[in-house]
Amino acid sequence: MKAKYTKAELNRFKNLILKKMEEVTREVNDIQSGITNSDAAKSGTSPDSIYSVHMADAGTDSHEREKNYLFMTRENNYLQNLETALDRIEDGSFGICKICGKLIEEERMMEVPNTTKHVECKEREKLGLI
């Protein structure tokens, strides 16, 4: 088993990460515009019209807004993890398990390019065996 990925493989991972970053950025922008548009639409209502809205509708709107903020936070965290993966490509630690120090399988890196652990190592860590 090899100790590191080749420059060509790392370049392929880098392109994959950049593509995922573009997708996530678009999703965050869509979520932000949805939040902004719904807030702007509500801010244009008169105070009297607020009372005509059913409480359940107001609760649903509030829940949807909160859910959008959570999605946006999750996507921003994922974006930061992808940026960290790019940094690991640059410093040569990309694809190396933080627990056992061996190379993480290419299939896993293609699916989860921001991962830092083998599946087995992560499972053992969650179970408290490490």
Write the pLDDT tens digit of every residue in 77-122. Answer: 999 999 999 999 999 999 999 999 999 999 999 999 999 999 999 9
pTM score of the predicted model: 0.76
Report the alpha-carbon distance of residue 48 to residue 57 in Å, rounded: 16
Q: Which of 80, 68, 77 is nearest to 33 (CA)?
A: 68
The structural domains of the chain, ordered by start, are 7-126 (1.20.120.910)
Q: Tokens standing for 45?
A: 């209502």
SS3 115: coil
Q: Tokens standing for 76?
A: 């921003």
Query: At 58, is the pLDDT very low, low, confident or very high (cuts 50, 70, 90)?
Result: low
